[in-house]
A and B are shown apart, each in its own frame.
Chain A
Amino acid sequence: DAGVIQSPRHEVTEMGQEVTLRCKPISGHNSLFWYRQTMMRGLELLIYFNNNVPIDDSGMPEDRFSAKMPNASFSTLKIQPSEPRDSAVYFCASRPNTGDGYTFGSGTRLTVV
């Protein structure tokens, strides 16, 4: 199993541009999570999906952030327009409905200049 796959690994963009982060969860995992990690705030949950349906998006900072999960094998996190304060590492994680197996991807390091 290749694990949770995120792309790109690094993204540098100019303020105001649209950014799309991608995640492929582990096959068979029913829940998918998007996290943001910064030095100041540590790991914060942004949104999670169960069976492709958004369950809790209370962590999404503002309307500039949106996430979709069109099918069980793919999810995107979009920031439009991006701002310098969005600079962080964004992690995707997935888990099955039963048992543990909570697995993180390697993250996308986003820098907005």
Chain B
Amino acid sequence: KNQVEQSPQSLIILEGKNCTLQCNYTVSPFSNLRWYKQDTGRGPVSLTIMTFSENTKSNGRYTATLDADTKQSSLHITASQLSDSASYICVVTRGAGNMLTFGGGTRLMVKP
């Protein structure tokens, strides 16, 4: 079954600290993996996208990794800011590119 599992479900950290979010998937055939940030009341916004041959990609303080062999990805946030408080969703594209499988998301809260 094509699935994307994320952990933890929720996370609270202090401003300035780092954190790492996890994503495991069983989607096949694999096309690419995206990490989205969704602020409350807004639509998801793409942070990174990685294909099979890429194992790391950065976007500012966000760094995503991908291990296509173990079907695992992580999103590392460095020096967290209050504005990082949001849900982070791991999304795997299956096949030709139009079928997305969404993880349940990790809800991150950054406290001062």
Binding site for B on A (CB under 8 A): 4, 31, 33, 42-43, 45, 48, 50, 55-56, 91, 93, 95, 100, 102-107, 109
Contacts and interface: CB of A to CB of B under 8 A. Distances in A.
A106 B42 contact: yes
A42 B43 contact: no
Contacts of A95: 97-98
A50 B89 contact: no
B43 A107 contact: yes
Given A48-B98, A55-B98, A102-B34, A42 B45 contact: no
Interface of B: 32, 34, 36, 41-46, 49, 89, 97-100, 102-105
Given A42-B104, A42-B105, A31 B42 contact: no
Given A43-B89, A100-B32, A106-B43, 8 more contacts: A42-B104, A43-B102, A50-B98, A103-B46, A104-B36, A104-B44, A104-B45, A107-B42
Nearest to B34: A102
Contacts of B104: 42
